[in-house]
């Protein structure tokens, strides 16, 4: 006996009809379940989906479905959606991996990433050296634009952040220093701390956040829209064309930003010294000249030169490594910031140790 369908099946009532029909199907228990569609009203895609679903359920049980008295209009729909002979399921079943295999694979990937990175560092170094010999070949127009973007445009935020950090450090230590009556040493603390570490680090971190990420996103977008391939086939090497101008620009701007950050960090400390410790700006500056050597400032600036190459290089590298559309650009941008900050801190630690053993930190 056939199950007679005498209603419309649309998006509005599809779930209810499915429940009703699958109830009949369960009760009938026939090997071949017949549906009589002569009384079928409106049917839309949701209705088709209902029949597909019943069909799938029956197939799992090894039963069959059959339609009789199909109106012409509905027959066309059935043919279009291939209800009688649906295609097989997913194309590629997921591959199952053992833990060991996965560890091995990850190690191989890490090794190959490392090799790529070494190759990249080598190519960038060669291109930089080559550029020094051929300054006319450097794209100075781009360099000036990047100097503007990475340097001049960053001044307000660098000033604000450094001053706030200077304020915070001075304020936190003011209480301790006051307990020992060592008020004047606020100058040593701020002067040396800011010029050696806080200034260079603040400038570098802001450069990573503002420009390293922008480099990764820009180059990444160019990569996925085949612009890098276009450069290559025109015989223009991506590294001299895209990376070198950015590195030169950050080499010019980061030391300046560092000095700027030093200045505002010290100003922040000076404000707190006056407010909380009664150290006037005049005394502060006098003491500063005694406590802070030229080396303190220049070591920070020297470090910033290395940071500049590191940051621009990482941003551009992540950009060039981009693959996989809009998501890939997002991933590269995130990676550029994360690995940029990581490498920055590692490099800074190396400098601290290096300066110590060379007897340069006193």
- Per-position x/- string for 286-325, each x denoting binding to other proteins as judged by CB under 8 A, each - no binding: --------------------------------------xx
267: Cα separation from own chain's centroid: 34
Q: Which of 38, 64, 76, 286 is close enough to bind other proteins by CB under 8 A?
A: 76
Residue 232 binding other proteins, by CB under 8 A: no
What is the Cα–Cα distance from 202 to 194, expressed in whole angstroms?
9
Dihedral sign (CA 78, 79, 82, 83): positive
Which residue lies nearer to other proteins by CB, 87 or 282? Answer: 87
Residue 7 binding other proteins, by CB under 8 A: no
Contact (Cβ atoms closer than 8 angstroms) between residue 217 and residue 319: yes
Contact (Cβ atoms closer than 8 angstroms) between residue 41 and residue 7: yes
Site for other proteins in 326-355 (CB under 8 A): 326-327
Which residue lies nearer to other proteins by CB, 65 or 165? Answer: 65
Minimum distance, C-beta of residue 328 to other proteins, in the bound complex (Å): 9
Q: Which of 53, 63, 145, 331 is close enough to bind other proteins by CB under 8 A?
A: 53
Site for other proteins in 90-129 (CB under 8 A): 90-92
DSSP annotation of 67 reads E
Residue 200, CA distances (Å) to 57, 81, 116, 213, 357 in order = 67, 65, 29, 18, 21
Site for other proteins in 77-96 (CB under 8 A): 77, 80-83, 86-92
Q: What are phi and psi of 148, to 5 degrees?
A: -60, -50
Residue 154 binding other proteins, by CB under 8 A: no
Minimum distance, C-beta of residue 288 to other proteins, in the bound complex (Å): 54
**Long-range pairs for 323-329 at CB < 8 Å and ≥24 separation?**
323/223, 323/224, 324/224, 325/224, 326/224, 328/220, 328/224, 329/216, 329/217, 329/220, 329/221, 329/224
Stretch that binds other proteins, among 8-16, 147-155, 157-165, 208-216 (CB under 8 A): 8-16
Minimum distance, C-beta of residue 78 to other proteins, in the bound complex (Å): 10
Minimum distance, C-beta of residue 334 to other proteins, in the bound complex (Å): 15
DSSP annotation of 85 reads S
Q: Which residue has tokens 């002569």?
A: 38
Site for other proteins in 13-42 (CB under 8 A): 14-15, 18
User: What residues make contact with other proteins under the rule CB under 8 A?
Assistant: 11, 14-15, 18, 44-46, 48-50, 52-53, 56, 76-77, 80-83, 86-92, 324-327
């Amino acid at each position: 006996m056939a199950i007679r369908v005498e209603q419309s099946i649309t998006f509005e009532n599809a779930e209810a009809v499915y429940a009703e029909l699958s109830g009949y199907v369960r009760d009938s228990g026939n090997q071949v379940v017949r549906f009589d569609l002569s009384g079928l009203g409106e049917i839309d895609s949701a209705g088709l989906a209902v029949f597909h679903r019943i069909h799938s359920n029956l197939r799992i049980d090894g039963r069959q479905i059959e339609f009789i008295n199909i109106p012409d209009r509905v027959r066309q729909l059935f043919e279009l959606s291939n209800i009688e002979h649906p295609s097989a399921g997913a194309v590629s079943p997921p591959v199952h991996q053992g833990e060991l295999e996965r560890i091995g694979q990850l190690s191989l990937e890490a090794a190959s990433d490392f090799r790529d990175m070494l190759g990249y560092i080598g190519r960038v170094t060669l291109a930089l050296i080559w550029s020094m010999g051929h300054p006319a070949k450097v794209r100075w127009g781009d360099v000036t634009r990047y100097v503007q973007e990475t340097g001049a445009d960053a001044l307000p935020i660098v000033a604000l952040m450094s001053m706030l950090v200077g304020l915070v450090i001075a304020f936190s230590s003011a209480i301790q220093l006051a307990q020992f009556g060592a008020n004047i040493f606020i100058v040593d603390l701020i002067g040396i701390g800011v010029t050696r570490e806080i200034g260079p680090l603040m400038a570098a971190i802001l450069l990573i956040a503002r420009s390293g990420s922008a480099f990764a996103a820009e180059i990444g977008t160019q990569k996925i829209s085949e612009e890098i391939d276009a450069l290559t086939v025109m015989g223009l090497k991506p590294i001299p064309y895209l990376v070198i101008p950015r590195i030169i620009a950050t080499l010019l701007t980061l030391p300046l930003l560092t000095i700027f950050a030093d200045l505002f960090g010290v100003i922040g400390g000076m404000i707190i010294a006056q407010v909380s410790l009664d150290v006037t700006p005049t005394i502060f500056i006098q003491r500063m000249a005694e406590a802070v050597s030229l080396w303190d400032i220049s070591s920070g600036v020297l470090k910033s030169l290395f940071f500049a190459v590191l940051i621009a290089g990482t941003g551009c590298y992540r950009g060039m490594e981009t693959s996989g559309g809009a998501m890939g650009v997002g991933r590269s941008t995130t990676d550029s910031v994360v690995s940029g900050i990581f490498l920055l801190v590692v490099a800074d630690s190396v400098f601290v140790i290096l300066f110590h053993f060379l007897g340069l930190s006193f």
